[in-house]
C-alpha cells in the first residue's frame, strides 16, 4: 500500500512557450512612440524595428494574421505621420485599443 497523507504528488513538467499577446505588442509599440514623442523620426525608426520583430513572430506563428494586420495598420499611420499627426495618434486612446480600425475619424 502506498498511501501516505503527507506525500505530495509530483506535477508533470510542462514547458509552454511564452507567447506575447495583443496587449503586450500594443503596449510595446505605444511605449516606443511615447518615449520619442518629441522626436518622430527616431520614433518611426524604432517602430520599423518593432515591425520587423512582429513579422518574424508571425513567421514563427506566435502572432496571428489578425493581430499582424492591426499592428501594420497602426504602423502605416505612424510612419506616414508628420509631427502634428504623430502627436495626434499618440494622444488618441482609441488608436491604442485592441480592435482599432482605421475608419475615418470624426473631429
pLDDT in tens, 15-59: 555 667 788 899 999 999 999 999 999 999 999 999 999 999 999
Q: Record the cell numbers describing residue 37, joined without a space.
A: 514623442
CA distance 3 to 77: 64
pLDDT (average), residues 48-76: 92
In a domain, 71, yes or no: yes
C-alpha cell at 7: 506525500
Question: What is the extent of the structural domain holding 65?
Answer: 22-96
Give me the number of domains the chain comprises. 1
Dump the DSSP string for 1-61.
----TTPPPPPPP--PPP---HHHHHHHHHHHHHHTTT-HHHHHHHHHHHHHHHHHHHHTT
Query: Can you give the pTM of this predicted structure?
Result: 0.75
Within-domain flag for 61: yes
- pLDDT, average across residues 54-69: 90
Residue 36 belongs to a domain = yes
Q: Is 105 contained in some domain?
A: no
Is residue 3 situated within a structural domain? no
Amino acid at each position: 500500500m502506498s498511501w501516505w497523507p503527507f506525500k505530495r504528488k509530483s506535477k508533470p513538467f510542462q514547458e509552454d512557450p511564452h507567447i506575447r499577446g495583443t496587449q503586450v505588442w500594443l503596449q510595446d509599440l505605444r511605449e516606443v512612440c511615447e518615449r520619442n514623442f518629441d522626436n518622430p523620426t527616431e520614433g518611426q525608426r524604432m517602430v520599423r524595428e518593432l515591425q520587423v520583430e512582429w513579422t518574424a513572430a508571425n513567421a514563427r506563428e506566435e502572432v496571428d494574421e489578425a493581430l499582424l494586420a492591426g499592428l501594420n495598420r497602426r504602423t502605416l499611420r505612424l510612419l506616414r505621420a508628420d509631427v502634428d499627426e504623430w502627436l495626434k495618434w499618440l494622444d488618441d486612446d482609441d488608436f491604442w485599443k485592441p480592435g482599432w480600425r482605421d475608419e475615418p475619424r470624426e473631429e
